Structure 1
Amino acid sequence: MRGEYKVPGGKLVAVDLEVTDGRVSRAAVSGDFFLEPDEALESIDGALLGMPETATVAQLTHVVDSVLGEGVTMVGFSAESVAIAVRRALGHATRWEDHTFEIVHEGPQSPAMHMALDQALAEAVGAGTRGPTLRIWEWGAPAVVIGSFQSLRNEVDPEGAERHGITVVRRISGGGAMFIEPGNTITYSLTVPGSLVEGLSFERSYAFLDDWVLGALRELGIDATYVPLNDIASPTGKIAGAAQKRLSNGTVLHHVTMAYDIDADTMLEVLRIGREKMSDKGTKSANKRVDPLRSQTGLPRADVIEAFKNHFRSRYATVDGGVTPAEQARADELVSTKFGTPEWTARVP
């Protein structure tokens, strides 16, 4: 059995395994990483022998770490990345290449409907009625989207929102508030089975699931990097923020909002961005934290989105698709019972 794991921003780790009576009987680690001294590779292989095929990433990481002395240097990979590759070889995890992704890019929807579609499609992926999906959003109205655990009154100025006709909605994932203007924002959701991020912590899964869009941005001439925990940035400022939800059915919902252009003055009238929020950002102004894609690419928003889709297609197997009638019915129900209700929006007052 063979498993591979490409470390985000690092190297490829591959593991070839044989299992006898439920335990690893042969292990051979390889890849384009750097490792000194040479003998450390034999130690890593030997550490994996005898491990049960049910071993977790944490257990596998521990045994690999246990044989690495202070004089061992690992560049481009880690004990954890070896463990993830082993889990994939044992069939507990899947690779991007194991899936065909459906790309959904339909017309504008209300803010509440977008929240509902995220949940409806995630439920469908978990139920096996839909494959992993990349959904590009089109916004039907300006909005503020607050995180699942944020306080409504602490994040949004109600007078500013009313003055500018801003709809406030709450999503099912955590993270911070997003200021949305149709035509000035690029938002997408990546909905995948949990097997794709099996063994990855929340923190590592952000970088893993954002890796493709970093490649797309670099093709557009932007030196984009992942900034823990959930930001994408360039040398001139923040480009995007990501949020993630892992559903009980095993599905991972990962969505990203990017600033194509931005009305910073309106944003600051609607969002209550306090000093504590800015304290670790190295800047005193929220305007200077966000650098729009328009200024960095010089391209129309539609062209940027097409470039994103084409890059995704170039990396993975894809088909074009759409929301099914059953999924739309479920989303309609969620709008009326959850995302469109004041009780949900103000569940953390």
Structure 2
Amino acid sequence: MRGEYKVPGGKLVAADVVLDGGLMVSAAISGDFFLEPDEALARINAALVGQPAAAKVAQLAAAIGDALDPDDTLVGFTVEAVAIAVRRALGHATGWQDHEFELIHHGPQLPVLHVALDQVLAEELAAGRRGPTLRFWEWVDPAVVIGSFQSLRNEVDPDGAARHGVTVVRRISGGGAMFMEAGNCITFSLVVPGSLVDGLTFEQSYAFLDDWVLGALADVGVKAAYAGLNDIASPAGKLAGAAQKRLADGTVLHHVTMAYDIDADKMLEVLRIGREKLSDKGTVSAKKRVDPVRSQTGLARSEVIEAFKAHFRARYKTTDSALLPSEMARAEELVKTKFGTQEWRTRVP
């Protein structure tokens, strides 16, 4: 059995394994990584022999680490990367090419309906009624979408929000606040099975699920990289932030909001961005943290989105899809019973 894992920003690791009686009796690791000395590869392979087929990433990585000599040097990959490739070979983990993704780009919806749809599509995937899905958002009404655990009064200035007609919506994922006006940012949600991120830490899964985004940005002339836990940045400044929620069965909701043409003055009247957060980002001005994609590409927002869709389609098996009436009905129900209620919006006052 064979499995592969491409380290985000690193190298490809492939694992060919043979099982007998629930144990690995042969293992051969290969790839375009760098490893010194040559004999270290034999130590990695030997460490996998005798490991159970049900071994988790941590167990496999520990066995490999114990077998390596102190001077063995791995460049472009890690022992965890080897373990993930092995897990994929054994059928416990999946790769991008193991799935066919559905792509949805619906007409404008209320921001509160978008956060409800995120939950609905994650539940539909978990129930086996829909495949992995990439969904781009469109909206008209301005809003601030805050993270599941953020304090409403600490994040949003009610006077500024009222002055600019901005509603406040709370999503089910963590992370920070999103200031959203029609046309000022690009937002998309990715719903995938837990098997796609099997063995990855939460931190690793952010970069892994957004690796295609860096490629799409390169297509439109923006050189970008992951920064910190969940930010995507260019040399000119921050471009985007990501957030995640994992359902009980492991299904992952991952979404990204990317600055396109932010009105920084208005944003600062609506959001309360504390000094502690600014210092953590290495800047004294929130304006400097928001670097619009428009200024770096010269493209219309719609053109950037189309380029992103084209990149995703070229990279992964993708079919165009649409929201089902039953999904819309469920989302509208959740707006009434959860996301549109004062109780949910103020659950962290």
TM-score under structure 2 normalisation? 0.99
**1:232-258 per-position Cα deviation (integer Å, ceiling 9, x unaligned):** 000000000000000113210000000
One-letter identity of the residue aligned with 1:152: L
Question: Aligned partners of 1:127 and 1:260: how far apart in 2?
Answer: 35
Deviation of residue 140 (structure 1)?
2.4
- 2:202 matched residue in structure 1: 202
Deviation of residue 39 (structure 1)?
0.2
> Are 1:123 and 1:249, in contact at CA under 8 Å, matched by a contact in 2?
no
Runs of 4+ in structure 1 off by over 6 angstroms are: none
Task: Report SS of the residue matched to 2:10.
Answer: coil
Question: Aligned partners of 1:266 and 1:76: how far apart in 2?
Answer: 43
One-letter identity of the residue aligned with 2:155: E
- 2:305 matched residue in structure 1: 305
Question: Aligned partners of 2:343 and 2:194: how far apart in 1?
Answer: 30
Question: Aligned partners of 1:198 and 1:207: how far apart in 2?
Answer: 14
Deviation of residue 326 (structure 1)?
1.3
One-letter identity of the residue aligned with 1:316: Y
Q: Pairwise mapping of residues 54-93 of structure 1 onto structure 2 (< 5 A)?
A: 54-93=54-93
Task: Report SS of the residue matched to 2:210.
Answer: helix
Gaps of 5+ in 2: none
Question: Aligned partners of 2:249 and 2:7: how far apart in 1?
Answer: 26
Gaps of 5+ in 1: none
Question: Aligned partners of 2:206 and 2:112: how far apart in 1?
Answer: 24
Question: Aligned partners of 1:73 and 1:93: how far apart in 2?
Answer: 26
- 1:2 matched residue in structure 2: 2
* Superposition CA RMSD, Å: 0.6
Alignment of 1:283 with 2:276, yes or no, is: no
- 2:175 matched residue in structure 1: 175
Task: Report SS of the residue matched to 1:273.
Answer: coil
Question: Aligned partners of 1:279 and 1:221: how far apart in 2?
Answer: 29
> Are 2:140 and 2:181, in contact at CA under 8 Å, matched by a contact in 1?
no
Alignment of 1:50 with 2:50, yes or no, is: yes
> Are 2:43 and 2:67, in contact at CA under 8 Å, matched by a contact in 1?
yes
One-letter identity of the residue aligned with 2:113: M
- 2:125 matched residue in structure 1: 125
- 1:112 matched residue in structure 2: 112
Question: Aligned partners of 2:303 and 2:122: how far apart in 1?
Answer: 27
> Are 1:259 and 1:291, in contact at CA under 8 Å, matched by a contact in 2?
yes
Deviation of residue 279 (structure 1)?
1.4
Question: Aligned partners of 1:184 and 1:199: how far apart in 2?
Answer: 36
One-letter identity of the residue aligned with 1:19: L
Alignment of 1:11 with 2:11, yes or no, is: yes
- 1:98 matched residue in structure 2: 98
Deviation of residue 331 (structure 1)?
0.4
One-letter identity of the residue aligned with 2:63: V
Q: Pairwise mapping of residues 133-212 of structure 1 onto structure 2 (< 5 A)?
A: 133-212=133-212
> Are 2:6 and 2:12, in contact at CA under 8 Å, matched by a contact in 1?
yes
Q: Percent of aligned pairs with the same residue?
A: 72
Question: Aligned partners of 1:70 and 1:93: how far apart in 2?
Answer: 29
Q: Pairwise mapping of residues 186-335 of structure 1 onto structure 2 (< 5 A)?
A: 186-335=186-335
TM-score under structure 1 normalisation? 0.99
